[in-house]
Amino acid sequence: MIARMSAEGPLSIKQLAAPLPISRQAVTKHLDILQAAGLVRVQKAGRERLHFLDSSPLKEVEDWLEPYAREWDQRLSRLQRHLEDRS
């Protein structure tokens, strides 16, 4: 659902549920959780509620993880160089 909202923009529950092997009620529960996490926003469009992705909380996580990822990249590069030197 997140990937589809990212690629396609705002979608209704009906649109989100159509290709999935789960009920609309299950999609609604998933969307409620994503909304509570701040990853999904809801906008009314007539009788429908459109759901769209708000990726800003994911950017915060990415920013927090970045120093750790950089450190692991450096460690893995050192390990690779060490293993290549031994062969």
Mean pLDDT, rounded, for 51-80? 94
pLDDT at 58: 87
Class of domain 2-54: mainly alpha
pLDDT tens, residue by residue, 1-49: 999 999 999 999 999 999 999 999 999 999 999 999 999 999 998 999 9
**CA dist 37 to 40, 42, 69, 87, Å?**
8, 13, 24, 49
* Band of pLDDT at residue 87, cut at 50, 70 and 90: confident
Amino acid identity at 56: S
pLDDT of 45 reads 87
0.95 surpassed by pTM = no
Report the pLDDT value the prediction gives residue 5, as an integer from 0 to 100: 94
Domain boundaries, the chain: 2-54, 56-87
Nearest to 40, CA basis, from 67, 74, 13: 13
